[in-house]
């Protein structure tokens, strides 16, 4: 009788351990699935200048006393990255933006934009090693593009038109702006939705 109880207890413990392993594996798979289906493109908010429209024209003084032309035609596209020294996601994206700037320098210029106290931003610019980039403080620029949340990015083409824009929280979302420009669509989401619509009609 005692032997039967010992064996049944051992079997029950084996079942419990097997269930724990199964739950752990399932939780891991759910995490992987979430990463795969998470939105890849920048979240475009339907306000401000529309994709394809000319960007508002600005000539702004940078923190180092130079002039940044926004919305002007030129030889390069321009990525405006709106940030704040107190935004943790903005800080996380700075190394990625530096990497993109180096890799895409043949066609892309990156500029940083915010508003607030010049001294605070000058110190942040030094700490974040952004001295090689134009950095402007302009509430008017943020209002012109209807920037309500950060980090926010706007991609302008060589003619000064808005090519893509949206909230960006990752490298994938930043790169989706470039993909949208290459594919000549307003956003990656618009393209995916369009493709899904075509699939349902066929």
Task: Kindly report, residue by residue over 36-47, the tens digit of the pLDDT.
Answer: 444 456 666 667
Query: Which residues, including other chains, have CB under 8 Å from residue 135's CB and lie 6 or more apart?
Result: 62, 63, 64, 111, 112, 113, 114, 121, 125
Condensed to tens digits (0 to 9), the pLDDT of residues 157-170 reads 999 999 999 999 99
pTM of the model as a whole: 0.76
pLDDT at site 177: 95
Q: What is the pLDDT of residue 11?
A: 73
User: d(Cα 111, Cα 76) in Å, to the nearest integer?
Assistant: 12
* Lookup result for tokens 């002039």: 67
Closest residue by Cα to residue 43 from 149, 163, 168:
168
The answer to whether the beta carbons of residues 169 and 42 sit under 8 Å apart is no
- Share in percent of the chain as helix, strand, coil (round to 5): 45, 20, 35
């Amino acid at each position: 009788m005692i032997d039967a109880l010992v064996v049944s207890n051992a079997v029950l413990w084996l079942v419990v351990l097997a269930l724990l392993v199964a739950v752990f594996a399932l939780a891991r798979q759910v995490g992987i699935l979430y990463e795969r289906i998470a939105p890849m493109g920048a979240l475009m908010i339907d306000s401000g200048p529309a994709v394809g429209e000319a960007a508002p024209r600005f000539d702004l003084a940078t923190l180092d006393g130079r002039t940044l032309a926004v919305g002007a035609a030129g030889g390069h596209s321009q990525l405006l990255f709106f940030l704040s020294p107190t935004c943790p996601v903005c800080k996380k994206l700075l190394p990625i933006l530096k990497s993109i700037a180096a890799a895409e320098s043949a066609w892309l210029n990156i500029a940083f934009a915010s508003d607030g106290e010049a001294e605070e931003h000058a110190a942040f610019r030094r700490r974040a090693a952004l001295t090689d980039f134009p950095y402007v403080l302009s509430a008017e620029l943020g209002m012109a593009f209807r920037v309500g949340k950060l980090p926010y990015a706007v991609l302008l083409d060589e003619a000064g038109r808005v090519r893509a824009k949206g909230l960006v929280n990752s490298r994938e979302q930043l790169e989706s702006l470039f993909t949208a420009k290459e594919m000549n669509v307003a956003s990656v989401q618009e393209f995916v939705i369009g493709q899904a619509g075509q699939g349902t009609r066929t």
